């Protein structure tokens, strides 16, 4: 069974630009969560989607948004990039209830904002 895939793996952008990251969950998984990982703050929850609906959102500004498609693939978008957005962005998938079930993480997209 293929694991969680994320594209692109690496990205370099400049301040003020926007970026879209993609996540394909494990086949059959309907829940996708996104996390930001930085050396200073660790792993922080961004949002979670299930059946194309956002069920939960973390404490991030509105510049961070996401969506999920009918095939459970998910994208997250960051607009008006800031230097502090440089991080590893991880997505994780689970069957339906990521709090009770195993969440499987992808390799992440490493974003560098210059």
Rg (CA), the chain: 13
Residues of span 61-100 touching another protein by CB under 8 A: 90, 92, 97-100
Rounded Cα distance, 33 and 49, in Å? 6
Report if residue 107 touches another protein, rule: CB under 8 A.
Answer: yes
Among 19, 87, 103, 113, binds another protein (CB under 8 A): 103
Judge contact between 15 and 83, C-beta under 8 A: yes
The closest of 48, 39, 56 to 110, measured between CA atoms, is: 39
Query: Per CB under 8 A, which region of 12-20, 55-63, 64-72, 73-81 contacts another protein?
Result: 55-63
Give least dist CB 5 to another protein, A. Answer: 10
The CA-atom distances, in angstroms, between 56 and each of 11, 17, 60 are: 26, 26, 12
Q: Considering only residues 1 through 40, tell me which ones interact with another protein, judged by CB under 8 A.
A: 4, 31, 33, 35
Q: Which residues bind another protein (CB under 8 A)?
A: 4, 31, 33, 35, 42-45, 47-50, 55-56, 58, 90, 92, 97-100, 102-108
């Amino acid at each position: 069974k293929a694991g969680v895939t994320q594209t692109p793996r690496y990205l370099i952008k400049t301040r003020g630009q926007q970026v879209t990251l993609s996540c394909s969950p494990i086949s059959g998984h309907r829940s996708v969560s996104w996390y930001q990982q930085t050396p200073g703050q660790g792993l922080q929850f961004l949002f979670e989607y299930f059946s194309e609906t956002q069920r939960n959102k973390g404490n991030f500004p509105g510049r961070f948004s996401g969506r999920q498609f009918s095939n459970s693939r998910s994208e997250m978008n960051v607009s008006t990039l800031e230097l502090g957005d440089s991080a590893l962005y991880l997505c994780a998938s689970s069957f339906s209830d990521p709090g009770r079930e195993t969440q499987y993480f992808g390799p992440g997209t490493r974003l560098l904002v210059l």
